[in-house]
Amino acid sequence: MTDLLSAELLADIRERAADYDRDNAFFAEDLADLQASGYLGAMVPTAFGGAGLTLQETAHEQARLAAHAPATALAVNMHHVWVGVGRYLHERGDSSLDWLLREAASGEVFGFGYSEPGNDLVLLGSRTEARPDGSGGYTFHGRKIFTSNSPAWTRLGVLGLEKSGGLRGRNGAPRLVHAFVTREGGGFTILDDWDTLGMRASQSRSTLLDGAHAPADRVLRLLPPGPSLDPYVLGIFTSFEVLLSSVYAGIADRALELAVETVHRRTSMKTGKTYAQDPDVRRRIADMALAQDSVWLQIDGITRDLDASAADPTLDRGAGWFRATAGLKVRVTEAARDVVDQAVRVSGGSTYFTGSELGRLYRDVLAGIFHPSSDDAAHGTVAQSLLGPLE
C-alpha cells in the first residue's frame, strides 16, 4: 500500500493539533501537507492519477490520521466521501462522477453540503430550494450546516428540492436535486460561526446558499424524495458511514494508547506500584482493547465486502447496506465514546486540563453522536429491515 501518511507527516500534524484546537483555527498547514503527499487522491483509481487505495485501506489510513489529529481527519473525511462515491459508481460502470475523480487527483478539494437545521431526513429530503435555470442546471437557496472544510473547499456537493419550473417527476411531484457548485461560481456566504466544544479545526461552518449555480453537467441525480436504491445514494450512504466510523475508531485507538502509557507512569501511594498493576485499572484497559478489537473486525468485514461487491454480485447487500453501515456508525461511535471515557478515568485528573490530549479527545469524540445516522435513525432502519415500514 502506498505510504501517503508518513511517520514524519503524522508527527507534524499531531504537533499542530493542540494549537488549532486552542485557537479555533482551520487546519491550513495540515491540508497543504496532505495535498502535497497525494493523500487527497488516496482513493482515486490509478487510471485517474490517484493512489488507488481501496475503501478498506482508506479507512485504516483515516484512523491513523484521526489518532494524530481528529478534527483534521474529520474534515478531510468529507472530501474522501465524495471520492468514495465516484469510485463506487465507476466500479459499477457508471461514469457520471469520473470528472470528480480526475479533479480530486488534480488537487480540487470537495466539501459536503447536505446537512440542514431541522432536517432529520438527511438524504431523503431537503429544506433547500433547487430552482431550475431553464438549461438543465439549478440554483440553490437555503442554509447548510456542519460544512466541513469551509475555508478551503473548491467544489461543494449540495442537495435541494426542485421548485416550480422544473421538468418534475412522476405525477408532477418535485424531485431532489443532487449537484455540485464551485467556489469561484459564488452565490453563497460562509458564516464565521464555528465555535464548538470539539472538532474545532474542521471549521465546519454554516453555508448560506443564495443562487449558487450548478450547470447541467454538474447535476448528477434528480430523484423522488424518500428512500432510494439509486447507486449514487448508496454510494454516498456507505462511503459516509464507513469512513466516518474509521475516524472515531482512530480516536479510540489513540485513547487506548495514551491510557496504557499513562498507567505505566502513574504510581499509587497506597501500594507503591504503578497503576498498570492495579486489577481494576487492568480490567478497564482490557475492556477498552476488547471493544476496539470488535470495532475493527466490523469495519474490516463491511469494507471488504463493499470493495469486492462490484466484481462479485453475491456480496452486494442492496438495501441491506443501509442497515449494515448505519449500524456500524452507531456501534463504532458509541464504542469510541466509551473507550475515551474509560481512558480518562484511568488516567486521572490531569486529563481535565485543557492542555491534555486525552481531554481534547474526550471533547472531539462527542461529535460522533451528531453525525447521521443518529442512534434513533439507525434503530428505525434496522426495525424496518426486520418488520417492514410503519403504516
Q: What value does the mean pLDDT take over residues 182-189?
A: 98
Report d(CA 229, CA 249) in Å as an integer: 28
Confidence of residue 170 (pLDDT cuts 50, 70, 90): low
Q: What value does the mean pLDDT take over residues 15-36?
A: 98
Whole-number pLDDT of residue 177: 98
The answer to whether residue 352 scores a pLDDT higher than 70 is yes
Of the chain, the percentage scoring pLDDT greater than 70 comes to 97
In the chain, where do the E strands start and end? 110-113, 129-132, 138-147, 155-162, 176-182, 188-190, 205-214, 219-223
Whole-number pLDDT of residue 3: 80
**If we measure between CA atoms, which residue out of 335, 339, 347, 198 comes closest to residue 256?**
339
Q: What is the DSSP string of 271-302?
A: TSSBGGG-HHHHHHHHHHHHHHHHHHHHHHHH
Confidence of residue 173 (pLDDT cuts 50, 70, 90): confident
CA distances in angstroms from 153 to 111, 181, 341, 377, listed in the order given: 5, 10, 33, 29
Whole-number pLDDT of residue 166: 47
The residue type at 246: S
Report d(CA 146, CA 142) in Å as an integer: 14
Report d(CA 246, CA 328) in Å as an integer: 10
> In this structure, are residues 34 and 51 in contact, taking their beta carbons and an 8 Å threshold?
no
Confidence of residue 388 (pLDDT cuts 50, 70, 90): very high
The residue type at 78: M
Average pLDDT, rounded, for the chain: 96
pLDDT 10s digits, 303-344: 999 999 999 999 999 999 999 999 999 999 999 999 999 999
Entry pTM: 0.96
The answer to whether residue 126 scores a pLDDT higher than 80 is yes
Whole-number pLDDT of residue 163: 80
Whole-number pLDDT of residue 171: 58
Report d(CA 9, CA 218) in Å as an integer: 34
The residue type at 242: V
Buried b (16+ CB within 10 A) or exposed e, 226-261: eebeebbbbbbbbbbbbbbbbbbbbbbbbbbebbbe
Q: What value does the mean pLDDT take over residues 157-166?
A: 82
The answer to whether residue 244 scores a pLDDT higher than 90 is yes
pLDDT 10s digits, 256-304: 999 999 999 999 999 999 999 999 999 999 999 999 999 999 999 999 9
**If we measure between CA atoms, which residue out of 69, 74, 94 comes closest to residue 310?**
94
Report d(CA 262, CA 100) in Å as an integer: 44
Whole-number pLDDT of residue 2: 60
Of the chain, the percentage scoring pLDDT greater than 90 comes to 96
Question: What pairing do the DSSP bridges indicate for beta strands 110-113 and 176-182?
Answer: unpaired
Whole-number pLDDT of residue 146: 97
